[in-house]
Amino acid sequence: MKPSLIFPALTALLSLAAAMGAETAIEGRVELPKGRPGPVVAKRYEIVSKGGVISTDPPLAVVYLEGPFRKPSPPATRQLTQKNLTFIPALLPVQVGTKVEFPNEDDTYHNIFSFSPAKRFDLGRYRPEERPIPSQIFDKAGPVTLRCDIHEHMRALILVLDTPHFVMTGTDGRFRLAGVPDGRYRLKAWTSSKTTLEKQVEIKSGAASRVDFP
């Protein structure tokens, strides 16, 4: 190698190393909506030994990046559990194409269903130990509200996103979305079925951008 080329090559390598060390990320905070009262279990005609007091799930938001991303390999399977007459977690963001399993960890039946346009299904009633665990593949973007046909108070939401770049906020509304590619995108913050906030962002290699909602 000619001596005149050594210096530029070393400089490029050092720049790349620096860029890898300072991860490209977006961080910020979403102003979360006020918490809602926990549900009241209707147990007029049967004895319900669990679910007497259900802790109020603190409101959370899902922050995601919209853009022309390449389709990655099939996303990993996720689980949404039914335990103590509650869906855990109550909010689950997944990428389009994700398979979600619904294990029943109660000693009673559940009957999960959804009439949402993004995914309409009814799993029927199945035993806790049933194998394979009943599942669905969520192949269309949009919110999918889950309910139980037996326990009226049970609710959950699967947010199906057409992007591999998403993250849930903490209960304080803070988030950090790491590993995002360079470019200009729309950053969205879903806070409820009625509210999705949106901002334009420009991602630069090795830099951490700060975005707050609103």
Partner 1 sequence: MNVLRSAAACLLLGTAAPLAAEGLIDRLDEALTVSAFDGHARARLSGTLDLEGYYFPRTPPGLIHADDDGALLNPRLTLFLDAQLGPHVYAFAQARADRGFDPGDGDREIRLDEYAIRLTPWEDGRFNLQIGQFATVGGGWITRHLSWDNPFVSAPLPYEHVTAVRSRVPPYSARYFAPGTLWGKYDYLPVIWGPSYATGVSVAGRLGRFDYAAEVKNASLSSVPESWSITETGFEHPTVTGRIGFRPDPAWNLGLTASRGPYLMPEAAAALPAGRGLEDYQQITLGHDISFAWHHWQLWAEVFVSRFEVPQVGNADTLAGYFEAKYKFTPQLFGALRWNQQFFSKVPDGWGGEHAWGDSLWRLDAALGYRFTPHTQLKLQYSPERATGGGPGTSHNFAVQFTVRF
> Is the CB of 22 or the CB of 115 nearer to partner 1?
115
CB of 47 to partner 1, least distance (A): 5
Nearest to 114 by CA among 78, 82, 138: 138
Six-digit token string for 136: 């669905």
Closer CB to partner 1, 29 or 110, in the complex: 110
Pairing of strands 25-30, 208-213: parallel
CA distances from 17 to 14, 54, 174 (A): 5, 49, 28
Which residue, 4 or 55, has its beta carbon nearer to partner 1?
Answer: 55
From CA 199, how far away is CA 45, in angstroms rounded?
Answer: 49
33-52: contacts with partner 1 (CB under 8 A): 36-50, 52
Tell me the closest approach of the beta carbon of residue 27 to partner 1, in angstroms: 31
Q: Which of 115, 137, 139, 204 binds partner 1 (CB under 8 A)?
A: 115
How far apart are the C-alpha atoms of 88 and 84, rounded to whole Å? 9
Tell which one of 107, 132, 179, 214 touches partner 1 (CB under 8 A): 107
Q: Residue 43 or 99: which CB sits closer to partner 1?
A: 43
Q: Which of 126, 133, 162, 170 binds partner 1 (CB under 8 A)?
A: 126
Q: Between 114 and 191, name the residue whose CB sits nearer to partner 1.
A: 114
Buried b (16+ CB within 10 A) or exposed e, 144-173: bebbbeebebbebbbbbbebbbbbbbeeeb
Shortest Å distance, C-beta 41 to partner 1: 7
How far is 85 from 64, CA to CA, in rounded Å?
30
3-state secondary structure of 172: coil
Q: Which of residues 139-168 bind partner 1 (CB under 8 A)?
A: 145, 147, 152
* Of the candidates 38, 3, 47, 32, the residue with the CA atom closest to the CA atom of residue 191: 32
CA pair distance 185, 65, nearest whole angstrom:
7
Indicate the residue among 111 and 209 with the shorter CB distance to partner 1.
Answer: 111
Q: How far is the CB of 115 from partner 1 (least distance, A)?
A: 6
Footprint of partner 1 (CB under 8 A) = 36-50, 52-53, 55-56, 107-109, 113-115, 120-122, 124-128, 145, 147, 152, 193
